[in-house]
Amino acid sequence: MPSTIEETLDRELDVVVVGGGFSGCYLLHKLRQQGFKVLLIESASGFGGVWRWNCYPGARVDTHVPLYELSIPEVTQTWNWTEKFPKSAELVRYFEHVDKVLDLKNDSVFNTKVVKATFNDDDSLWTIATDNGTAYKATWFIPSVGFAAKRLYPDFPGLDDFKGVVHHSSFWPTEGVTYSGKRVGVIGTGSTGIQLVQEMSKDAKALTLFQRTPNLALPLHNVKLTPEMQAENKPRYPAIHKLRLESKGGYDFNADDIDTFDHTPEEREAYLEAKWKEGGFLLWVGQYRDVLTNLKANRETYDFWARKVRAMISDPQKRDVLAPLEPHHPFGTKRPALFMNFYEAVNQDNVHIVDVNKFPIQKAVGSGLVTADGKTHELDILVMATGFDAITGGLKAIDIRNGTGESLNGKWANGTWTNLGLMTAGFPNMFFTYGPHGPTAFSNGPTCIEIQGDWIVEALVYHRSRANKRMEPTPTAEIKFRNLVNDRTN
Ligand code: NAP
């Protein structure tokens, strides 16, 4: 074993890409096509990014195929899905196929975590150090670690005393967890929490969902796909993938050219009903164009959503917690989950809903969780579906330093500054994808990633053609961009 990182600088590369999800695979392929020497470093044992980690019961994607895939023709033409909204295991198999077709493994290392990256002003090279003691030098450093790379574990007092088992949804044992006949607690009602409840409630003896924020979930309407169905559709894929680039959210639809109050109440009900019936994200970003900019209009959609969902829940207590008459937050300002049988599941007698806004979780004890009403919820298995230190967490987990020794963590301690959601001033030759100030969680991942990826590849080709060794945004550019992002968000 080498004793110092300096002794192990075994390869000089043009680019180091960190992460083997959609971004990493896309960038490795596209950069290699342009003749760059690239190495992809991945902490897991294979490609797939978040889908490799997210193997909890019921995990599946919320964007239908062929929107949720890479647009690379060699891959699309040789792959068939079995469902419109595939499960995580099928996505992992898809990534194996991507690797087979594009031959990505040859330029990748696995089971290796990047722990530090340092830029040197003298030679304009990054030194990228890993947890196994290896280090690499490269002109360009692209941490494509995803927006969900760092787990969020609530730190309830007494958690160590809990005698059952605790699992985070995104670190689910690959061999599975036996929960049949057990008392399961799920904390969190993001997409993950909704999917876990749908699946685990089938076999658990009791399932208690601890909800802080209601999820304004929409129907998914899954369909089985045959190779014949896909063969018929494949000639249209290039057009579908092009449309994805032109729509606002990276899907195959946009908001309609009409405002909420252009319709009479009867017309509005029928219009929203049609969107609900079609399913997916249409009721979120494929309906009236003012739903996310006019609070009064937004309330119309919320009330419609609450009527639909309340009608599905038989127990009045569960109904008021899961779909309250007064919105917890404006509709669509959090990415809604897509449900399959969630509201049927919550109607089951073995499913209990705890409103942790009203009765916060105070502590864990040997037998379960204690809430502020003094009740002990007895559990054998506790599932943290509590999400991630999202967006910047994965980047901040790497000790990234520029030529003056300044760390990215230090720069972003009190906020995030980027230009175009791709680079940050003072950290030359570093790009990130699907991260801060990008469309990220408010968009279809593969679309966002391909737009950003193509931009990065073009930039690198441009600089190579001019023999430029260094690129970074100006502080003025990133302040302007930050203001633009904040204005639009507000
Ligand atoms: P998430 O959306 O961040 O949801 C985390 C949940 O945990 C929230 O309900 C949150 O409540 C709750 N929570 C966190 N800390 C808590 C605490 N101390 N006490 C009680 N509740 C707590 O995480 P996620 O569901 O894992 O999803 C992460 C991202 O992946 C999202 O963008 C999601 O859309 C995406 N995802 C997609 C799919 C899919 O494609 N189908 C599947 C899974 C995930 P608050 O809301 O009150 O903070």
Contact 192, 387 (CB under 8 A): yes
The values of phi and psi at residue 13, to 5°, are: -125, 160
**Which residues share a beta bridge with 388?**
151
Question: Which residue's CA lies nearest to atom 23 of ligand 1?
Answer: 387
* Separation of alpha carbons 99 and 93, rounded Å: 10
pLDDT score for 3: 41
Give the distance (Å) from ligand 1 centre to CA of residue 191.
Answer: 6
Pairing of strands 368-371, 376-378: antiparallel
Query: Which of 54, 56, 61, 192 has most ligand 1 atoms within 8 Å of its beta carbon, as the pocket-test mutant?
Result: 192
Tell me the C-alpha distance between 419 and 155, whole Å: 34
Tokens of 425: 């001033």
> pTM to 2 decimals?
0.94
Q: Which residues line ligand 1 (CB under 6 A)?
A: 60-62, 148, 154, 169, 187-193, 210, 212-213, 335, 356, 385-388, 441
Q: Tell me how far the alpha carbon of residue 61 lies from the centroid of ligand 1, in angstroms.
A: 14
Instruction: Kindly give the distance from the C-alpha atom of residue 246 to the centroid of ligand 1, in angstroms, as a whole number.
Output: 28
Residue 390's alpha-carbon distances to 152, 329, 448, in angstroms, are 9, 19, 17
User: Rounded to whole angstroms, how far apart are CA atoms 321 and 329?
Assistant: 14
Which residue, judged by its Cα, is nearest atom 21 of ligand 1?
Answer: 188
C-alpha 216 to ligand 1 mean position (Å): 12
- Give nearest CA residue, ligand 1 atom 33: 191
**According to CATH, what is the number of the domain 5-47+104-150+390-489?**
3.50.50.60
Predicted pLDDT of residue 10: 59
pLDDT in tens, the chain (490 residues): 444 455 456 567 999 999 999 999 999 999 999 999 999 999 999 999 999 988 999 999 999 999 999 999 999 999 999 999 999 999 999 999 999 999 999 999 999 999 999 999 999 999 999 999 999 999 999 999 988 777 899 989 999 999 999 999 999 998 999 999 999 999 999 999 999 999 999 999 999 999 999 999 999 999 999 999 999 999 999 999 999 999 989 999 999 999 999 999 999 999 999 999 999 999 999 999 999 999 999 999 999 999 999 999 999 999 999 999 999 999 999 999 999 999 999 999 999 999 999 999 999 999 999 999 999 999 999 999 999 888 898 999 999 999 999 999 999 999 999 999 999 999 999 999 999 999 998 899 999 999 999 999 999 999 999 999 999 999 999 999 999 999 988 8
Report the atom number in ligand 1 closest to the C-alpha of 390.
3
Which strand ranges, in their side-by-side order, compose the sheet holding 183-187? Answer: 165-168, 381-384, 183-187, 206-211, 351-355
User: Ligand 1, closest atom to CA 192?
Assistant: 25
Closest residue by Cα to atom 12, ligand 1, is 188
Please report, for the chain, the start and end positions of each structural domain, with discontinuous segments joined by +: 5-47+104-150+390-489, 183-384
Beta bridge partners of 339: 219
CA of 329: how far to CAs of 56, 219, 463, in Å?
A: 28, 19, 45
Distance from the CA of 301 to the center of ligand 1, in angstroms?
22
Please give the distance, rounded to the nearest whole angstrom, from the Cα atom of residue 152 to the centre of ligand 1: 10
* Residue having the nearest C-alpha atom to atom 36 of ligand 1: 191
* Closest ligand 1 atom to Cα of 215: 9
- pLDDT (0 to 100) of residue 1: 40
Top mutation candidate among 62, 92, 386, 448 for ligand 1, by most atoms within 8 Å of CB? 386
Q: Which atom of ligand 1 is nearest to the CA of 441?
A: 32
What residues have CB less than 8 Å from 409, skipping those under 6 apart?
396, 399, 400
Helices (H) and strands (E) in the chain, counts: 16, 17
| Distance from the alpha carbon of residue 406 to the mean position of ligand 1, in angstroms | 32
Alpha carbons within 13 A on the beta-carbon side of 30: 24
Cα–Cα distance for residue pair 171/152, rounded to 1 Å = 11
**Positions of E strands within 216-322:** 218-219
Distance 388 CA to ligand 1 centre (A): 7
